[in-house]
Amino acid sequence: MIDDRLTAHLSTWLGRWPGTGAGLTVVGSPAREEPAWDGGVHRVIGVTTPGSGVLSVPPAVATAVAAWLDGGGDPVRIPGVAGLPGSWFDGVFRWSDRPAPLPDAGEWIAAEHPSVPPWLRLFGGEVLVAVDHGTGEHFAGVGIKKHDSHGRELAVVTAEAARGRGLARRLVAQAARRVLDEGAVPTYVHARSNGASASVAAAAGFPDRGWSFLGVDA
């Protein structure tokens, strides 16, 4: 079942899944010209497995990007090839079908609630927060990037003073259970250099399967 959810998510988000063979399959998708979960337009995104992957770009530049890659061009230069300002991002893409059985650490509240920190409000809907009920201070929180009805990406931040308590992993696992209960697949993306985020993901039940997330960070 989780494989079906993941396939449905990546097909919807990228424009097709899986690719047509080894290496990157370039897809021109109209979705790359439409507002995403945050209202921004994410013109280049991709997901790869150890053997293949799909790179989703605006239809107008799909032929040029495919030709560049077919010719052995370095993906890092795709922003210039596609005429899309920004820097190339190659991070780790994780997903979970079995969140770690950690105890809940937070509660769900409306993102627009006055107590919610600004960085969490942009996710909309409900966010998961761990709060000091004595002071009202937010220790940590998880927002959900609702890419489509099949896939939800989790993002977590912990206040510096509250780090080292295991809050982030517990919140991520708690949020993942809710996403699964709602019929979607929970995903998690982080930079390869972010060891702390990698540790949180692994402890919450999001193993590193050798998958990557690609994109252009504008």
Q: Which two tokens stand for residue 17?
A: 């899944």
**How do the pLDDT tens digits run along the chain, 218 residues long?**
899 999 999 999 999 999 998 889 999 999 999 999 999 999 999 999 998 999 999 999 999 999 999 999 999 999 999 898 899 999 999 999 999 999 999 999 999 999 888 889 999 999 999 987 666 677 889 999 999 999 999 999 887 766 777 899 999 999 999 999 999 999 999 999 999 999 999 999 999 999 999 999 87
- Given this model, what pLDDT does residue 85 score? 87
Domain spans in the chain, listed from the N-terminal domain onward? 2-95, 107-207
In this structure, what DSSP letter does residue 218 have? -
List Cβ<8 Å contacts ≥24 apart for 58-65.
58/28, 58/29, 58/32, 58/33, 58/82, 58/84, 59/28, 59/29, 59/30, 59/32, 59/33, 60/28, 61/28, 62/26, 62/27, 62/28, 63/28, 65/26
- Given this model, what pLDDT does residue 217 score? 86
Q: Which CATH architecture has domain 107-207?
A: 3-Layer(aba) Sandwich (3.40)
- Given this model, what pLDDT does residue 134 score? 66
The count of C-alpha atoms lying within 13 angstroms of the C-alpha of 77, restricted to the half-sphere facing its C-beta, is 10
CB 74 within 8 A of CB 200: no
Task: Write down the pTM of the prediction.
Answer: 0.94
- Given this model, what pLDDT does residue 21 score? 83
- Given this model, what pLDDT does residue 158 score? 85
